[in-house]
A = this chain, B = another copy of it.
């Protein structure tokens, strides 16, 4: 069997970017298409901010502040300080260089361009060779219903530091959202589809909720490999574990496997969770046990190489 050449990845932000960076450095990046969550996009100070698109783009461009996981390296925050002095909200960090991205994107949208076109303009300017597609050009804001009321996801995550108790998640307007141009085709034409280790509820969840995408994955289920974002009952990144538990899902590899089983052929779990392998196999998925904790570039590339191997899982 030939190794897979064309790869399509579904991604959120920070967690996904670790694996994407591994893939980007291991394969021909022009054969990589990334479908990115835009449910946590937000408009602040009149600017359209697409956090996951930017995290993925900055990561692959090599300009990201890798300690923070977002924003430009060596960033300054002079504008944000002044915005705060003008009485504007400053709970969402906006660096000076990062603001240029939001200004550019907002200006393109105001000129009638789509979010896809803006994302393409930005990734090309930053020298990223892979295609980066928003899940949809239509706004689909993720709203968290919580014990403090309805919060935009960024308010929940950044402003309220994921402290409110989650009672429900809504993707507003998703019923009428359409997959961005190229999304369904990228799933259909891929040799392998990789679901990155992102929050299943608010990173992968919004992508799946756009009408047509989940169905397309189901139609191409045999090509779908999902990397479990939970290791030993804890999120690799962010509040996935807490959110899963608050919404009645098990914050475990099995819990994620149940969510992904309808459209996933191969599920990758960390050796820490290998005891759950047989239960996951019972969900009618192959299980690959492989290190999924990616702190170093070597670890990212090792997982990427495994996912790019025709013999995986062995």
Chain A contact residues, CB within 8 Å of chain B: 45-47, 75-76, 78-83, 85-88, 95-97, 99-101, 103-104, 106-107, 110, 121-122, 125-126
Chain B contacts of A99 at CB under 8 A?
A: 79, 96, 99, 103
**Contact call A107/B88, Cβ cutoff below 8 A:** yes
Contact of A121 among B76, B86, B96, B106 (CB under 8 A): B86
A217–B97 alpha-carbon span in the complex (Å): 46
Of A82, A99, A107, chain B has the most CB atoms within 10 Å of the CB of: A82
Q: How far is the CB of A278 from chain B (nearest CB, A)?
A: 51
**Contact status A96-B76, CB under 8 Å:** yes
A103 to B100, CA, bound (A): 11
Cα distance A122–B85 when bound, in Å? 9
Q: Of B79, B80, B85, which is within 8 A of A125 by CB? A: B85
Residues in chain B near residue A87, CB distance under 8 A = 121, 125
Main secondary structure of the interface of A (DSSP, over half): helix
Residue from B85, B86, B88, B100 within 8 A of A83 (CB atoms): B100
29 A-B residue pairs with Cβ-Cβ distance under 8 Å, sorted by A, are A45-B104, A45-B107, A46-B103, A46-B106, A46-B107, A46-B110, A47-B103, A78-B95, A78-B97, A78-B100, A79-B79, A79-B96, A79-B99, A79-B103, A81-B97, A81-B100, A82-B100, A82-B101, A83-B104, A85-B100, A86-B101, A86-B121, A86-B122, A87-B125, A88-B104, A88-B107, A96-B99, A99-B99, A99-B103
| A125 / chain B contacts, CB cutoff of 8 Å | 85-87
Query: CA–CA, A99 to B79, complex, Å?
Result: 6
User: CB-CB < 8 A to A96: which residues of B?
Assistant: 76, 78-79, 96, 99
- Number of identical monomers bound together in the oligomeric complex: 2
A106, B110: Cα distance in complex, Å: 13
Additional pairs, 8, CB under 8 Å, beyond known A86-B104, A87-B125 = A46-B110, A78-B100, A79-B103, A80-B100, A83-B104, A86-B101, A88-B104, A96-B96
On whether the beta carbons of A97 and B122 are closer than 8 Å, the reply is no
User: Do residues A97 and B79 form an inter-chain contact, with CB atoms below 8 A?
Assistant: yes
Known: A106-B46, A107-B46. A100 touches B76 (CB 8 A): no
Please name all residues of chain B whose beta carbon is closer than 8 Å to the beta carbon of A110 when the two chains form the complex. Answer: 46
Query: How far is B82's CA from A99's CA once the two chains are assembled, in angstroms?
Result: 9
Q: Cβ of A47: which chain B residues have Cβ within 8 Å of it?
A: 103
- CA A263 to CA B299, docked complex, whole Å: 78
CB-defined contacts of A107 to chain B, threshold 8 Å? 45-46, 88
Q: How far is the CA of A46 from the CA of B99 in the complex (A)?
A: 13
Cα of A126 to Cα of B87 in the assembled complex, Å: 11
